[in-house]
Amino acid sequence: MNIYLLDGKDMTDRESAYCAIEQAMGFPKWFGHNLDALADCLSDLPAEKTAVVFVNTGILVDNLGAYGEKILACFRAVTDECGITWMEKA
């Protein structure tokens, strides 16, 4: 099982958010720093072997506002759709 830990404290703006996600999840260098690319890369993960744990989501939203909510919504939607284990803590 691959467990990916993401921390909203590391995400102070869009660029740092995508860099933190890219590094923590081992996304390829061609990963485009946008919501469509995030959804594509998440959907490529093997569902039965993947868990995503996202902590300090409240800090992410404090830092990025509505865009932070969009990032979380993307994770929620794709993990639900693909059957990836998803856990979050504000």
pLDDT of residue 83: 96
Per-residue pLDDT of 52-63, as tens digits, reads 999 999 999 999
pLDDT of residue 36: 98
Report the C-alpha gap between 47 and 52 in whole angstroms: 10
Per-residue pLDDT of 20-65, as tens digits, reads 999 999 999 899 999 999 999 999 999 999 999 999 999 999 999 9
Give the chain's domains with CATH numbers. Answer: 2-89 (3.30.370.10)
3-state class (DSSP) for residue 19: helix
